[in-house]
Amino acid sequence: MDDGFFAEFDSLERLQRALERLRDHGYRALDAFTPFPVEAIDAMLGTRPRAVTRIGGLAAAAGIAVGYGLQWWLNAVVYPLDVGGRPPHSPLAFVPITFETAVLFCGIATFAAVLGLSGLPRLWRPAFEIEGFERASLDRFWLFVAADDRCFEPRRTHELLLGLGSLRIATIGVHAP
């Protein structure tokens, strides 16, 4: 997954144009590294990930079940306590905590999903050794073409990237032509 070509661009416009051209050439295993989120790139790379919202939704449902179930089980079954003649199972009084557990579960699951699905935390990866790659979080734009892309052919891909105006091309796990 880490193997391939990394190409640096000095502007977002150049990066976007390069991505478009690579897509036109049939490349699909692409990624871009930008200092801020760019919606247009999401559209270019295709596929809307639904996993994060699904995981969040499922966790919220689990939170409702756990929150309500726990209150019912403890106050109506295990330890019913008569306070002012109120019924041990009081659905309305159980609403606030049920809501809070749903939010809590959903929040934790969403956070974990965003990180986990993106392969984080991972403190080091080969790309960090590329000179200048650190500017991907500051003011430069990097493009990645994975070596396992079906269109990938070191010499041709390299030439294509050069032609797209990249400032430098670094390779990881592939021999540079």
Partner 1 sequence: MRRWIRGEPSDAELDAQLLSPVWTPASRLWQLAFLATGAGVFVLVVLVTWAMIEGIGLFGNDIPAAWAMPIINFVWWIGIGHAGTFISAILLLLEQRWRTSINRFAEAMTLFAVMQAALFPILHLGRPWFFYWLVPYPSTLEVWPQFKSALPWDAAAIFTYFTVSLLFWYLGLLPDLAAVRDRAPGRVRRRIYAVFALGWTGSSHAWRRFRIGYGLLAGIATPLVISVHSIVSSDFATTLLPGWHSTLFPPYFVAGAILSGFAMVVMLLVPARAVFRMHHVVTDDHLDAMAKMILVTGWIVLYAYLVETYLAWYGANEFEAYQTLVARPFGPYAWVTWLTVVCNTCVIQVLWWRRARRSVALLWIVAVLVNVGMWCERFVLIDVSLMRGFMVSKWETYVPTLFDWGILVGTLAFFSLLFLVFLRFVPFVPVYECKALVREEAEEARRG
Contacts with partner 1, residue ranges (CB under 8 A): 12, 31-38, 41-42, 45, 49, 51-53, 56, 60, 70-71, 74-75, 78-79, 81, 83, 86, 90, 93-94, 96-97, 99-101, 103-104, 106-108, 110-111, 113-115, 117-125, 127, 134-139, 144
Among 61, 48, 30, 64, smallest CA distance to 160 is for 30
CB of 177 to partner 1, least distance (A): 25
Distance of closest approach, residue 50 Cβ to partner 1, in angstroms: 9
CA angle 31, 20, 156 (to 5 degrees): 80
The amino acid that residue 10 corresponds to is D
> Helix (H, G, I), strand (E, B), or coil: what is residue 125?
coil
CB of 149 to partner 1, least distance (A): 15
Query: CB-hemisphere CA count at 13 Å for 35?
Result: 14
Give the residue with the Cβ less far from partner 1, 122 or 175. Answer: 122
Closest to partner 1 by CB, 2 vs 159, is 2
- Categorise residue 176: left if φ over 0, alpha if ψ from -120 to 50, beta otherwise: beta
